[in-house]
Structure 1
């Protein structure tokens, strides 16, 4: 390697500082531009022999690829960055590597790599590093389908955190909210996500704010009040952009808007099916080939599931019972006992007893007082049978 002059070293530092500032801004507004800038900077840093710059660029490239759902591509730059980083500076790159490995379902390798780093931090009595790696272990447990173990581990991570370490605490709160969401503990999810949002706001971390707002939006969507979601205006705008792209046959524009919509929540963007129909109704009515375009491009779009556990889709109550009526079964008010229904929209993990749908049954207000004394009301028993249709409805 050639010797780098003092002026080249100074030039490299200036480029690195400028790059770091620009990269953070682009990451929240335009991940594609951030990746382009990072790859250009990577070549510049290599020419200057600036190892710190190379590592920063590799880390950013991996982060962008994870955000775009290109997990396999993200593994190599994340590993390259880790090779050059000292232990105390490896936390961000290790987190990105874990996200990439989990995206590729390589949970064993993610656990092995994180365990090795955790051991190194323990040997150096570095509580900050231990807390960060323990948080990642919770993420891995959640990805393995063990949310209860993940919740126990994230509590351990919080116990290791220094209360003044706002940067790490914000990430722990965010991860806790994600795990609580998988456990469907919505009140607790709301509290943790709000704590994370406030911490990210104090830090000026816009990307963190976006992730916390995505979790909050998911909670409000699951509660059936999407109009209260913080990401609601952006969701409506993204949906309109998708409809516009359909009319123009703009595949890139459609997928870009689709990816934006997906980032606004974990799996249920804060916009109802009725609103989606209203947005797309005009273009679908006057353009018979629009449906084919939507199907072709929806299957190709990539969604970031780094915060998601299993993906479940809500079924609207009115739509559920309208479907039964159309099929010849007209349930009366007393027998419309399914108030909340969620069905799996993605494949299960291969676990034998993995749930395919969830439903909440409730005796309806139309029931007379004397009916409320039944320990097993006929409408509740019937609702248990009705809920089987939720599985099929969410896969349409």
Structure 2
């Protein structure tokens, strides 16, 4: 049992703060509601104001932004009633956070600006720095990147002027955020290193870890994956020693993301080499007029499924330009009658329904031609490759195509947009084959 309603309110508020720190907004909302009930019963206006702020943060955590704004109004009114200007400023700061989460950036800047001015006048540098972060976030949300950087630098200069070296260094996170939003990663790295040196000089291990994970993120954006992993790994024990679980999680996530990126880069490198070999095999067979090798190589390209038509066009165009008639004749005579269906087509689902490709084993060029003529505009020529076409009207399922006539009816100048006469779409009549695009 609680000793008093006021005491109960205090305990519930502490519990709500703990839940908010662990991102458990639902539990925080329950605790904040109990705190409000207890504070009201005790006639504790200060407790009510604090409970309103906790309710606001919890509702925002649940994406109930309209309800969070109402709680903010309650906090502001209560603080004004009791003359608590510090509490009012805190409520405004929290309201700025809510506005940023709900993408109401102009309101976030207004609330954050009023709160920051109060904290600056009263020497509350920690909260001044926190408000600066919300203002910069709001400006970035509004795409005012240059202004965000200007405000971040100005805010840091004010903190330096106030003599708080630690908060001035922490304000670097806002500068980094502004650089990051403008893709100026190298400049952000320089700023992060400067702040890191200050935290090391101050012996502030937790904020040293914070700046190390900022560096890790920036190195990752620059493709410097080993440096990114090293920075995150260096931050991990610092967060553990400080008991900063959220920091530990972020460092571990960055380390995992770096490993994933390394694997992806290696796979991409291998894939590009395979792609080069497949395309080169088609080109070599075409140049040498080796029919069997040509069919085998082209079938392998089609089976791959991830090589774009443009890749084949770029590779083969020089061959066709040197001998248009001979290359075209060889292509038409030796293009495979059937070629394998790419695995991703077999596995694909058409908006939750089984794809029409589900039970197919291979493409047959004559059947594909008939399919195209009856609405399967998902295909382009195997030679004379169509690059783009534009049409008006609603977009249907990806497998529901449109005939040449439909395209012409929908978009009078589509031929100019596509760069080809409409007849090119009747590709099977010209080349004897079509391929999936």
TM-score, normalised to structure 2's length?
Answer: 0.45
TM-score, normalised to structure 1's length?
Answer: 0.49
Structure number with the higher helix fraction is 2
